[in-house]
Amino acid sequence: MGIVNVTPDSFSDGGNYATEKQAVAHGLALLREGADILDIGGESTRPGAAPVSEAEELDRVMPVVQELAKSGAIISVDTSKAVVMKEAIKAGAHIINDIRALQEPGALEAVAETDAGVCLMHMQGAPATMQNNPNYRHLIEEVEQFLIQQALRAEKAGIARERICLDYGFGFGKTVEQNFELLAHTNYFARLPYPILVGLSRKSSIGAVTGRGVHDRLVGSVTGALLAAQRGASIVRVHDVAATRDAFKIWLMTENQSHKD
Ligand code: 7PJ
């Protein structure tokens, strides 16, 4: 899953046109690199990020969804807002990727009344404050309980099991150690009857371990994605599609030869 951010940077000249064009071009480039899914997001969920209004998020995301859906790619939209979910699915999105696990008003119904897939993610707290004091008694069990509870809630609302994937939310209200404890236990989550998605690309915990700034986390991110996949993750959400693909090719080639003597 390749990441397509539609968040205007401070240098853009007002209006979203430049941002839009860049996002579409970036999505097409990720497809050429070998992405199977594009994850399009207009809300910054970095720790401490300001909230985005419904109108602004629609304005950012919809033109990019419409344009990239034409490419035939599987389109995922990273949103928590029911209105954005409905509009995106109407415009051709196949998956709703919700860091708030369909807990915002109307979100569960918005997905249930379609046949879109959904990713339900665990987060402790809210983006603005989640890194202040992450606190768990039993990290793995608590995250698992939350994910199972949300998956069953979704199934009860009419979202078939086959439409659901789960994500333990690397970087969302967890310490560096807790993030890597979750990564280490990916195989534990992978035994659940839902595919697992893992997103750790360029995150601050990758920086904390490697001592690298956000633009120098390629090796750390690719290694993390490979470890997640080897432990049973079905989808990895990444910025660097080509590099991640290379790592997976080496893994796959090795697996293919491993049964020979
Ligand atoms: C994730 C996400 C993640 C899922 C973001 C960033 C923050 N969705 N959206 N999982 N992260 N499912 O990329 O740094 O880990 S936004």
More confident site: 225 or 11: 225
pLDDT at 39: 98
Q: Please compute the mean of the pLDDT values over residues 11-40 and round it to a whole number.
A: 88
Give the integer Cα–Cα distance in Å for 205 and 203: 6
237 catalytically annotated: yes
Token duo for residue 244: 């991640």
| Percent of the chain topping pLDDT 70 | 97
| Confidence grade of residue 109 (pLDDT, cut at 50, 70, 90) | very high
CB neighbour burial string for 134-149, b if at least 16 within 10 angstroms, e if fewer: beeeebbeebbebbee
Judge if the beta carbon of residue 203 lies within 6 A of ligand 1: yes
| Confidence grade of residue 18 (pLDDT, cut at 50, 70, 90) | confident
Judge if the beta carbon of residue 79 lies within 6 A of ligand 1: no
pLDDT at 51: 87
Residues whose CB falls within 8 Å of the CB of residue 177, separated by 6 or more in sequence, listed in order: none
Judge if the beta carbon of residue 178 lies within 6 A of ligand 1: no
Ligand 1 nearest-atom number relative to CA 169 = 15
Q: Please compute the mean of the pLDDT values over residues 113-134 and round it to a whole number.
A: 94
| Confidence grade of residue 224 (pLDDT, cut at 50, 70, 90) | very high
Please check the confidence at residue 138 and state whether its pLDDT lies above 80.
yes
- Tens of pLDDT, residues 155-201: 999 999 999 999 999 999 999 999 999 999 999 999 999 999 999 99
Beta strands in the chain (DSSP E): 2-5, 37-41, 74-78, 95-98, 117-121, 164-167, 197-199, 235-237
Q: Which of 237, 245, 249, 260 is catalytic?
A: 237
pLDDT at 107: 98
| Confidence grade of residue 261 (pLDDT, cut at 50, 70, 90) | confident
Judge if the beta carbon of residue 100 lies within 6 A of ligand 1: no
